[in-house]
């Protein structure tokens, strides 16, 4: 009995484990299953002077679409200090909602000691995390503060930081220097371009200005050092730079089916956001597929970007020429001055000869007429001779429908014949006979057939067709 009980427990345990594995809401040992998340953060913090800011990277990495699940946080701090996010001063033990996956908190300690910050983060699906930061603060020979950088930063924006140095009691008020250690962009100190690795004197420590400009989107930082004759301290400012966008608001091609050597054009409107006065963009065009393997069958830039200045409203025009018969997938894409690319706009273009009659057409109705009898002459429609040429490319001809209309005396006669064609681009006949035999009856007139026409309808495999109605001469035999 004990043996069977152990087997039953093992089976139930296996079923329970499998159920948990397929649920998706259970912890998977890494980042919390279907609705789990992790926090990408900073870990090590150097000692700061009282009143100086620490920046805390706090990025939320989710297994789901962040925008569809609300994520909130609370925080506590062990010592007196202030915490900000996006320029807003936050209150301990109050719940706030994250508006972005990428975040940079700013904390300023107001007293000496290690400031322990504890964050509790949870989402509306019940997943939660706790993160703790230990930030040491002490009385220092000098402290360094700055303001600025709280507004949204886009690629290429100038972001100004108004800085100051506050010497401690009895400390020197002169002899301070700043060195910029690293930054992926341009740096200006008091409006003058600065280079990394070089110390610059700070004659006015109460008010000096640093301007940063970068074309790199995402999170980055400037690292710099401030020193006087006795002490040197390292600092950094983190930035979260928003990528600019370039979009194809509209794009139209003048035709999707043209004969060879036909001028073509693309006309559209391109938008850059946020809007700037810079109307310079780059564009490239290319053929990604061609029925004839010729990627130059329509003129294009061969996937190479070409400079272009948009019109005042973003209008864009590009002219090209259809060269060779074929069916093509034609693409166009744009890039802004920061390297951001638009979505690809794609067109299917057919270059070729539409279904068309070439030259002149003629036809002759062949009538068999018997010898005169007491009933009159016997008449039989034997068939018709035809001469014409029709072309289509790249579409292929699949059938030709012939309709004869004529009068036998005063009686209208209609005959129809359909001839299949084996996928040809060109069909040409010269006095070619088509049998269309039909007994017509007797007539006392030796020329009872009159007013004959032949309608030729040509059908292609792309669904197009063309037709001609031509007069027929009448031949008795």
Residues forming beta bridges with residue 269, ordered by sequence position = 250, 315
Strands ordered across the beta sheet of 257-258: 257-258, 345-351, 326-335, 280-290, 306-309
Residue 224: Cβ-neighbour burial (10 angstroms; 0-12, 13-18, 19+): buried
What is the per-residue pLDDT across 314-370, written as a single tens digit (0 to 9) for each?
999 999 999 999 999 999 999 999 999 999 999 999 999 889 999 999 999 999 999
pLDDT at 14 over 50: no
Q: Are 398 and 412 in contact, with CB atoms under 8 Å apart? A: no
What is the per-residue pLDDT across 359-418, written as a single tens digit (0 to 9) for each?
999 999 999 999 999 999 999 999 999 999 999 988 899 999 999 999 999 999 999 999
CA dist list (Å): 416 to 16, 434, 435, 454: 75, 11, 11, 10
* Region 8-28 average pLDDT: 40
**Residue-level pLDDT at 407:** 97
Map residue 20 onto helix, strand or coil.
helix
**Residue-level pLDDT at 22:** 35
Could you tell me the residue ranges of all domains in the chain?
Answer: 32-139, 152-243, 254-343, 354-476
**Residue-level pLDDT at 374:** 93
**Residue-level pLDDT at 349:** 96
Q: Specify the higher pLDDT residue, 27 or 49.
A: 49
CA dist list (Å): 159 to 63, 153, 212, 232: 33, 7, 5, 25
**Residue-level pLDDT at 4:** 44
Q: Name the strand (E) or helix (H) holding 12.
A: helix 2-23
* Region 307-320 average pLDDT: 97
Band of the pLDDT at 32, cuts 50, 70, 90?
low
* Region 5-16 average pLDDT: 43
pLDDT at 5 over 90: no
Q: Are 74 and 105 in contact, with CB atoms under 8 Å apart? A: no
* Region 132-161 average pLDDT: 95
Of residues 382, 385, 388, the one with CA closest to residue 363: 385
Of residues 436, 434, 339, the one with CA closest to residue 381: 436
CA dist list (Å): 56 to 44, 70, 124, 211, 213: 10, 21, 24, 22, 21
Q: Which CATH code fits 254-343?
A: 2.60.40
Of residues 318, 306, 302, the one with CA closest to residue 263: 318
pLDDT at 20 over 50: no
Of residues 281, 254, 248, the one with CA closest to residue 266: 254
**Residue-level pLDDT at 96:** 98
Q: What is the DSSP letter of 341?
A: B
* C-alpha 361: how far from chain center: 51
Could you confirm whether domain 354-476 is CATH 3.30.70? no
Q: Are 413 and 449 in contact, with CB atoms under 8 Å apart? A: no
What is the per-residue pLDDT across 101-135, written as a single tens digit (0 to 9) for each?
999 999 999 999 999 999 999 999 999 999 999 99
Pairing of strands 158-167, 257-258: unpaired
Q: CB neighbours (10 Å) of residue 357?
A: 16
**Residue-level pLDDT at 354:** 85
Q: Specify the higher pLDDT residue, 7 or 298.
A: 298
pLDDT at 28 over 60: no
pLDDT at 307 over 50: yes
| Long-range CB contacts (within 8 A, 24+) of 11-19 | none
pLDDT at 27 over 60: no
Q: What is the DSSP letter of 291?
A: T
> Backbone phi, then psi, for 430, in 5-degree steps?
-130, 110
pLDDT at 140 over 50: yes
Q: Which CATH number fits domain 152-243: 2.60.40.2410, 3.50.50.60, 2.60.40.10, 3.30.30.10?
A: 2.60.40.2410
DSSP assignment of 423-465, as one string? EESEEEEEEEEEEEEEEEEEES-TT-EEEEEEEEEEEETTS-E
pLDDT at 150 over 90: no
**Residue-level pLDDT at 29:** 38
Per mean pLDDT, which range of 11-15, 262-266, 424-428 is the poorest? 11-15
**Residue-level pLDDT at 353:** 85
**Whole-angstrom distance, CA of residue 217 vs CA of residue 185:** 11
Residues of 114-141 as b/e, b for ≥16 C-beta within 10 angstroms?
A: ebebebebbbebebebeeebebebeebe
**Whole-angstrom distance, CA of residue 404 vs CA of residue 387:** 15
**Residue-level pLDDT at 31:** 57
What is the per-residue pLDDT across 49-88, written as a single tens digit (0 to 9) for each?
999 999 999 999 999 999 999 999 999 999 999 999 998 9
Q: Which residues contact 77 (CB under 8 A, 6 or more apart)?
A: 83, 92, 107, 115, 116, 117, 118
* Region 165-187 average pLDDT: 96
Class of domain 32-139: mainly beta
**Whole-angstrom distance, CA of residue 51 vs CA of residue 73:** 25
**Residue-level pLDDT at 65:** 95
What is the per-residue pLDDT across 266-289, written as a single tens digit (0 to 9) for each?
999 999 999 988 999 999 999 999
**Residue-level pLDDT at 395:** 86
Tokens describing residue 331: 């693409």
Residues forming beta bridges with residue 85, ordered by sequence position = 88, 105
Average pLDDT of the chain is 92
Q: What percent of the chain has pLDDT above 70?
A: 93
**Residue-level pLDDT at 247:** 98
Q: Specify the higher pLDDT residue, 117 or 33.
A: 117
**Whole-angstrom distance, CA of residue 246 vs CA of residue 155:** 12
**Residue-level pLDDT at 369:** 96
């Amino acid at each position: 009995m004990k043996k069977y009980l152990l087997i039953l427990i093992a089976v139930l345990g296996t079923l329970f484990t499998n159920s948990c594995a397929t649920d998706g809401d259970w912890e998977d040992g890494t980042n919390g299953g279907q609705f789990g998340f992790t926090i990408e953060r900073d870990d090590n913090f150097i000692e700061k002077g009282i009143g100086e800011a620490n920046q805390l990277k706090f990025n939320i990495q989710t297994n789901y679409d962040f925008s569809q699940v609300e994520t909130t946080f609370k925080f506590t701090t062990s010592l007196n200090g202030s915490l900000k996010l996006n320029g807003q001063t936050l209150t301990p033990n109050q719940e706030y909602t994250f508006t972005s996956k990428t975040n940079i908190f700013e904390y300023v300690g107001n007293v000496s000691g290690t400031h322990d910050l504890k964050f509790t983060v949870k989402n509306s699906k019940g997943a939660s995390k706790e993160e703790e930061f230990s930030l040491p603060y002490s009385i220092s020979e000098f402290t360094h503060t700055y303001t600025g950088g709280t507004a949204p930063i886009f690629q290429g924006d100038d972001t100004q930081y108004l800085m100051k140095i506050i010497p401690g009691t009895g400390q020197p008020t002169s002899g301070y220097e700043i060195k910029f250690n690293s930054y992926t962009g341009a740096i200006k100190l008091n409006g003058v371009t600065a280079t990394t690795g070089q110390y610059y004197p700070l004659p006015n420590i109460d008010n000096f200005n640093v301007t940063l400009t970068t074309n790199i989107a995402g999170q980055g930082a400037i690292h710099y050092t401030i020193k006087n004759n006795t002490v040197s301290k390292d600092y950094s400012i983190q930035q979260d730079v928003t990528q600019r966008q370039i979009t194809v608001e509209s794009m139209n091609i003048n035709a999707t089916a043209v004969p060879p050597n036909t001028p073509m054009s693309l006309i559209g409107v391109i938008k850059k956001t946020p809007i700037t006065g810079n109307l310079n963009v780059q564009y490239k065009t290319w053929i990604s597929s061609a029925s004839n393997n010729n990627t130059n069958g329509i003129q294009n830039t061969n996937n190479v970007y070409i400079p272009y200045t948009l019109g005042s409203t973003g209008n864009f025009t590009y002219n090209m020429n259809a060269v060779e018969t074929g069916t093509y997938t034609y693409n166009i894409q744009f890039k802004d001055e920061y390297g951001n690319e638009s979505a690809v706009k794609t067109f299917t273009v057919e270059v070729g000869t539409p279904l068309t009659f070439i030259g002149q057409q003629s036809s002759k109705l062949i009538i068999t007429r018997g010898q005169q009898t007491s009933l009159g002459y016997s008449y039989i429609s034997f068939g018709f001779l035809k001469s014409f040429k029709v072309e289509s490319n790249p579409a292929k001809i699949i059938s030709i429908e012939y309709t004869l209309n004529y009068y036998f005396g005063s009686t209208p006669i209609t005959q129809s014949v359909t001839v299949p064609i084996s996928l040809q681009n060109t069909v040409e006949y010269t006095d070619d006979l088509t049998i269309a035999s039909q007994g017509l009856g007797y007539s006392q007139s030796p020329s009872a057939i009159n007013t004959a026409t032949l309608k030729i309808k040509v059908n292609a495999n792309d669904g197009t067709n063309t037709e001609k109605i031509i007069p027929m001469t009448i031949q008795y035999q």
